[in-house]
């Protein structure tokens, strides 16, 4: 089969790698891809937002199935465009993708269908939002309503921080249209984890859980990023609570979207937190998480392409996972998530024992250079998280990453701080 993967990050590298292991896969294309993905797929120089050109490419190259990685093209309606062209695509419609592209929509859906989440209010006026925050007090959470590449959330520990976040979003339009509205939420405290599932209508096939680390620096300091590392499994979360989250959150969400006339096909991601009052939803995403995908797919034993085809054919696939633990660290450009330099040469990677997924790289005159904020995802698989972490950090300590940085505490905390 001819397969097209859309996207250019570590998530798409992990997807392409897994697809390349399938006996069903013939030629794999990735648009636009990156320097590492070129090792397992043919790169197609079409931007992920150039939907018309991607549809034309899929027709011309007789693509049998397309998998969409990032949220931006999904929210722009890429799945609708492919379906309208008679092409098979694994990803939600534009309307179903609103569960990620509008936090207000997601909150309203959860409230309507009694899916547990934090109390909230939606605001478009600065003064009204500020008054509400002063009434509620800190800590409190401010979220840009739309897509902001994982950077639109502020966990404000003081009223002053909350006010600054409101000002940046509503008055300065820091995230453009994405911050025309903000969702102000109660602050939840507990253990975070990510639960993804393969979904088609009311068919929900959960994956193993993972945890990512959003803050830029060690000790959960600094601004939120798209994710600085991840690991799976998450021993602190009991299996019975995972199963409860599937039955009380994921399945009801899939049923709710279908009932609202926007059935979901693709990967539904639930960012969850285990509180004293039970597991609650922090956020929904309409696609594979990044960097969680890099550790979760590393534990998948079943053929990924077969899972996707079964779902698109209306079948419920049988899915098995390895018991091994996987932990990975993001190598990021100095200055990320703020201003950073591109084109910085990377050290040799072919001698690493750890596996590597490329997040933001390109080939320049035969050399591998940085092409984004998050540049590499380097991970280890082992019998336990402790072994994976220790061996990975030992190897990273022997490498020189000039112009880059990484967190040195991924997976090492005994207890998570309160979150988004």
Residue 109 lies in a domain: no
Count CB neighbours of 155 within 10 A: 24
Residue 176 lies in a domain: yes
Query: What is the spatial distance between Cα 292 and Cα 183, in angstroms, rounded to a whole number?
Result: 25
Residues 200 and 296 in one domain: yes
Question: Sorting pLDDT into bands at 50, 70 and 90, what band is 413?
Answer: low
Residues in CB range of 250: below 8 A, 6 or more apart: 195, 197, 199, 204, 206, 268, 270
Q: Which of 290, 312, 334 is the last residue of a domain?
A: 312
Query: What is the spatial distance between Cα 100 and Cα 115, in angstroms, rounded to a whole number?
Result: 15
In the predicted structure, residue 397 carries a pLDDT above the cut 80:
yes
What's the pLDDT score for residue 417?
A: 42
Q: Is the dihedral of CA 349, 355, 361, 363 positive or negative?
A: positive
Residue 320 lies in a domain: no
Residue 413 lies in a domain: no
Ordered DSSP codes for 263-310: --EEEEEEEEEEETTEEEEEEEESS--TTHHHHHGGGB-S-HHHHHHH
Query: What is the spatial distance between Cα 384 and Cα 133, in angstroms, rounded to a whole number?
Result: 43
Query: What is the spatial distance between Cα 383 and Cα 327, in angstroms, rounded to a whole number?
Result: 11
With CA atoms as reference, report the closest residue to 331 among 414, 233, 412, 225: 225
Residues 7 and 79 in one domain: yes
In the predicted structure, residue 179 carries a pLDDT above the cut 90:
no
Residues 304 and 339 in one domain: no
Q: Which of 288, 312, 336 is the last residue of a domain?
A: 312
Q: Is the peptide bond before 97 cis (omega within 30 degrees of 0)?
A: no
CATH number (domain holding residue 43): 3.40.50.20
Residue 87 φ then ψ, to 5°: -105, 140
CATH number (domain holding residue 136): 3.30.1490.20
What's the pLDDT score for residue 52?
A: 98
Question: Sorting pLDDT into bands at 50, 70 and 90, what band is 420?
Answer: very low
Question: Sorting pLDDT into bands at 50, 70 and 90, what band is 415?
Answer: very low
**Residue 103: in which H helix or E strand, if any?**
helix 103-112
Residue 116 lies in a domain: no
Q: What is the mean pLDDT of residues 289-317?
A: 98
Count CB neighbours of 139 within 10 A: 17
Q: What is the mean pLDDT of residues 193-206?
A: 98
Residues 37 and 69 in one domain: yes
CATH number (domain holding residue 394): 3.90.600.10
CATH number (domain holding residue 237): 3.30.470.20
With CA atoms as reference, report the closest residue to 276 among 194, 191, 210, 211: 191
Residues 209 and 296 in one domain: yes
In the predicted structure, residue 150 carries a pLDDT above the cut 80:
no
Tokens found for residue 230: 């991840």
Query: What is the spatial distance between Cα 262 and Cα 93, in angstroms, rounded to a whole number?
Result: 8
Kindly report, residue by residue over 95-139, the tens digit of the pLDDT: 999 999 999 999 999 999 999 999 999 999 999 999 999 999 999
Could you list the residue range(s) of the whole structural domain that residue 354 is in?
A: 325-405
Ordered DSSP codes for 111-135: HHTT--B--EEEES-HHHHHHHHHH
Are the beta carbons of 148 and 178 closer than 8 angstroms? yes
Q: What is the mean pLDDT of residues 175-185?
A: 89
Query: What is the spatial distance between Cα 359 and Cα 7, in angstroms, rounded to a whole number?
Result: 10
Beta pairing partners, 183? 122, 143
Residues 215 and 302 in one domain: yes
Residue 139 lies in a domain: yes
Are the beta carbons of 124 and 170 closer than 8 angstroms? yes
Q: What is the mean pLDDT of residues 202-219?
A: 96
Residue 146 lies in a domain: yes
Kindly report, residue by residue over 224-258, the tens digit of the pLDDT: 898 999 999 999 999 999 999 999 999 999 999 99
Residues 197 and 308 in one domain: yes
Residues in CB range of 117: below 8 A, 6 or more apart: 107, 110, 111, 280, 281, 282
Residue 131 lies in a domain: yes
In the predicted structure, residue 359 carries a pLDDT above the cut 60:
yes
Q: What percent of the chain has pLDDT over 70?
A: 98
Domain count, the chain: 4
Q: Which of 180, 204, 221 is the last residue of a domain?
A: 180
């Amino acid at each position: 089969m001819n397969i097209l993967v859309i996207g250019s990050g570590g998530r798409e590298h992990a997807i392409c790698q897994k697809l390349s292991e399938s006996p069903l896969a013939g030629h794999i294309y990735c648009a636009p891809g990156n320097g590492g993905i070129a090792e397992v797929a043919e790169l197609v120089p079409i931007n992920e937002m150039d939907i018309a050109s991607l549809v034309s490419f899929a027709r011309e190259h007789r693509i049998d199935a397309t998998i969409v990685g990032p949220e931006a093209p999904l929210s722009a309606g890429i799945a609708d465009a492919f379906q309208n062209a008679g092409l098979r695509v694994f990803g939600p419609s534009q309307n179903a993708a609103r569960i990620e592209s509008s936090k207000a929509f997601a909150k309203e859906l959860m409230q309507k269908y009694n899916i547990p989440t934090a109390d909230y209010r939606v605001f478009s006026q600065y003064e009204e939002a500020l008054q509400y925050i002063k009434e509620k007090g800190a800590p409190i959470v401010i979220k840009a309503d739309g897509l902001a590449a994982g950077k639109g959330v502020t966990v404000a520990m003081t009223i002053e921080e909350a006010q600054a976040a409101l000002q940046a979003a509503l008055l300065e339009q820091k995230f453009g249209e994405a911050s025309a509205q903000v969702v102000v939420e109660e602050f939840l405290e507990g253990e975070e984890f990510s639960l993804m599932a393969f979904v088609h209508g009311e068919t929900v096939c959960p994956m193993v859980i993972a945890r990512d680390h959003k803050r830029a620096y060690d000790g959960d300091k600094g601004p939120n990023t798209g994710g600085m590392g991840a690991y799976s499994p998450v021993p602190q979360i009991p299996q019975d609570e995972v199963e409860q989250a599937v039955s009380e959150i994921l399945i009801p969400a899939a049923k709710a979207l279908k009932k609202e006339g926007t059935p979901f096909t693709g990967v539904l991601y639930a960012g969850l937190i285990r509180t004293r009052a039970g597991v609650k939803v922090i956020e929904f995403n309409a696609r594979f998480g990044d960097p969680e995908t890099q550790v979760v797919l590393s534990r998948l034993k079943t053929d990924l392409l077969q899972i996707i085809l079964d779902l698109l054919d209306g079948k419920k696939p049988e899915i098995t996972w390895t018991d091994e633990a996987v932990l990975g660290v993001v190598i990021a450009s100095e200055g990320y998530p703020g201003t950073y330099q591109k084109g910085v040469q990377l050290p040799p990677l072919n001698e690493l024992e750890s596996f590597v997924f490329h997040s933001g790289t390109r080939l320049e005159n035969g050399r591998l250079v940085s092409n984004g904020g998050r540049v590499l995802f380097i991970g280890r698989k082992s019998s336990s998280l402790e072994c994976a972490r220790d061996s990975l950090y030992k190897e990273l300590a022997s490498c020189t990453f000039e112009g880059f940085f990484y967190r040195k505490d991924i997976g090492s905390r005994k207890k998570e701080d309160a979150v988004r």
